[in-house]
Chain A
Amino acid sequence: MALLPIEAFVLSKEAPARPPPPRGQIRWRKTLFGDAISAAVTAVIIVTALFVLPKLVQWAVVSGVWTGGPSACHDGGACWAFLREKAPQILFGLYPPNDRWRPILVILLFLGLALWTMPPRHWSVATLWAWAVGVAAALVLMGGGVFGLKAVPTASWGGLPITLLLTVLSLSAGFPLAVLLALGRQSRLPAIRVLCIGFVELVRALPLLTMLFIASLLSPLMLPNGLSIDNFLRALVALTIYAAAYLAEVLRGGLQAIPRGQYEAACALALNKWKTARLIVLPQAIAKVIPPLTNTIVVTVKNTSLVLVVGLFDLLSAGRAALADPVWPAPYTETFLFIALIYFAICFSISRYSLFLERRMASEGRQ
């Protein structure tokens, strides 16, 4: 077989530049109707949208009732007037209407603190103290009884402040517990290790609903006769234990990523066990797992919606209570959309923030 000359394989002159790949409309047409499956998917989506959207607009906007009383909402359209009327009740529950500025202040306080904490350059001990003072101030504002504020029992707390308070309190009480559990899991001492593993695995095996059931069924039995803790505290204890077990698992991931050399270096510096944990191991472990820790906040916010089983009026159950008003025609869809929107606004911003932290850490790691 005759060998081909080398010129048959090597370009002898520069090849002309190819045209750029199609952009804009041509690209769109290609991805939307490029092959049979794409065309079918596009067609199905467009037909469904044409079928659903007009009905949705008709329901929400055209025949939606925006103003007026209970009698206005009877012709099948969305009853937004109900939300106008009941929004304070959904947001603040049974809180005395004259004192509603207090829960509003609590919400603003938490919003301000959260916004302040977001940029990583604000992460400092001072910020931690600000949160501690903020939580204490929120509890005083809600509960009253001092500084001339009218005392409001926890049974009358409700709505969004309950959701926020339960989230912040259960996470801040759960975090130290989680640190101890995660360190205990790595302990040299077998009894400590077994206890920590057993606790974390037991809590993670149980559904939160079951935990709340247990808290509300067993706490009156297990405490001395006559002593009882109120519903808010019961829910808080259950949520804290739950958050602690999950945070401990996240922290364990961070601890496992610490190289052995760090412990040895600490040992060489003659640091004792607690100093090693506090100064060397924990700062690095926590820094590694900040994005998943932020995601745990989302999980906790969503978990607080279950406290209605122990009789607390959080955002969701305050909404259900508002719907029970016999004067209004009970617009369930609108109310649940409103509640879902509030949860979504909180959780979506936190998960976006977590994503931002993740990307930032990834880019720092590359440098």
Chain B
Amino acid sequence: MNTSSRKAIRNRSIGDYLVQAVVVGALLLLLAWLAANTIDNLRLRGITVGFDFLSREARFSISDTVLPYSPADTFAWAFLVGLCNTLFLSAIVAVASTLLGFCVALGRRSSHPLSNLISTIFVDTVRNIPVLVLLLFVYSLIIFELPDPVTARVWHGFFLNNRGFYGPALSWIGSGLHWSFPHMGHFNIDGGWIVSPELAAAVAGLTIYSTAFSAEIIRGGIDAVYKGQWEAGRALGLADKQVLRLVILPQALRVIVPPMTSQYVIIVKNSTLALMVGYAEINFVTSTTINQTGQAVEGTAILMTVFLVISLMASWLMNILNRRYVLVEH
């Protein structure tokens, strides 16, 4: 190697270091400037930085929670309650939309003209409307179109009205199991279990929205299986249902699993919109906390960490699943 090309390589590597140093330096300067501004502003407002506030009493109420909660609990517990609400809602939506999405996908693949038409209209409509519009629409239907508790019809212990959905509950009282039936109390319906209109609207709206997307993913997976597989399955004397279950689905899963995992992450992210219909998920808890304590930096840091962890866990899980469904070629 002659001297000039050696020099060129050395110059190139010096240039590389220089470019990286300039970019990283500029970024650090920007961050330092933002941090300095933040510290100034926080001092002006008399807010002390730190996570000490987490052990203080929250003093705000959260309606329908998965974990037990009272305003006397700490902020840390309130965050956990919000997170569990988010995960609870997402889990219901994920399961429901996968099952419904499978039905809609089969509808779109079928030769039955009516179900084909209906599922196509459903998918095309829902995919082209913002999820927030859908959520608010469903919520307004529940609040304004369902009857009020006084005139609501009762059906075998089930109430359906604009204060929520009520049903009989099995509970452990004293010595044994007892059925508790909802009945009209003095001011509201007492007894039984209840799904609040907020949770119902969030579940229904998000499920409708996610179903349209899951259906397209599942249909894509079924379409991706080579047509000859159907014919081979039929040639072996299997019925169409058996071909679907034994031949097509195992192969389609390979195509379906990666986008479906991303779809579940999207469901968790979309579940934050439940806040807009008044369901207390993690963004609600965070913004209430920030309003009360002024700890905006810490609150948003917690929020970002939570979603980063969820998304990292999802990609970790996807890698495991991918390895399980990957095509093994001998």
Q: How large is the interface on A (under 10, 10 to 19, 20 to 34, 35 or more residues)?
A: 35 or more
Q: Identify 6 new A-B residue pairs, CB closer than 8 A, beyond the known A191-B24, A348-B124.
A: A31-B112, A206-B308, A207-B269, A218-B38, A336-B133, A347-B129
Any A CB within 8 A of the CB of B136: yes
Complex contacts, B270 vs chain A, CB 8 Å:
207
Residues of B within 8 A of A (CB): 16, 19-20, 23-24, 27, 34, 37-38, 40-42, 44, 111-115, 118, 124-125, 127-134, 136-137, 140-141, 143-145, 268-270, 272-273, 275-276, 283, 286-287, 290, 296-297, 299-300, 303-304, 307-308, 310-312
| A28-B113, A202-B308 known; A351-B127 Cβ under 8 A | yes
Complex contacts, A316 vs chain B, CB 8 Å:
130, 132-133, 136
| Pair B272/A207 contact, Cβ less than 8 Å | yes
| Pair A305/B44 contact, Cβ less than 8 Å | no
Any B CB within 8 A of the CB of A107: no
Number of A-B residue pairs at CB separation under 8 A? 152
Complex contacts, A343 vs chain B, CB 8 Å:
128-130, 133
Any B CB within 8 A of the CB of A26: no
| Pair B112/A225 contact, Cβ less than 8 Å | no
Complex contacts, A218 vs chain B, CB 8 Å:
38, 296-297, 300
A141 and B308 CA atoms in complex are apart in Å by 41
Partner of B114 from the list A32, A210, A302 (CB cut-off 8 Å) is A32
Any B CB within 8 A of the CB of A6: no
Complex contacts, B124 vs chain A, CB 8 Å:
348
Determine how close the nearest CB of chain A comes to the CB of B285; give it in whole angstroms.
12
| Pair B23/A340 contact, Cβ less than 8 Å | no
Residues of A within 8 A of B (CB): 28, 31-32, 38, 41-42, 45-46, 188-192, 195, 201-202, 204-210, 213-214, 217-218, 220-225, 298, 301-303, 305-306, 308-309, 316, 320, 330, 332-333, 336-337, 339-340, 343-344, 347-348, 351
Determine how close the nearest CB of chain B comes to the CB of A71; give it in whole angstroms.
19
Chain B, Cβ-Cβ closest to A208: B269
Determine how close the nearest CB of chain A comes to the CB of B329; give it in whole angstroms.
22
Determine how close the nearest CB of chain A comes to the CB of B207; give it in whole angstroms.
17
Chain B, Cβ-Cβ closest to A206: B307
Chain B, Cβ-Cβ closest to A210: B303
Partner of A225 from the list B40, B125, B287, B307 (CB cut-off 8 Å) is B40
Complex contacts, B41 vs chain A, CB 8 Å:
220-222, 225
Determine how close the nearest CB of chain B comes to the CB of A253; give it in whole angstroms.
13
| Pair A221/B38 contact, Cβ less than 8 Å | yes
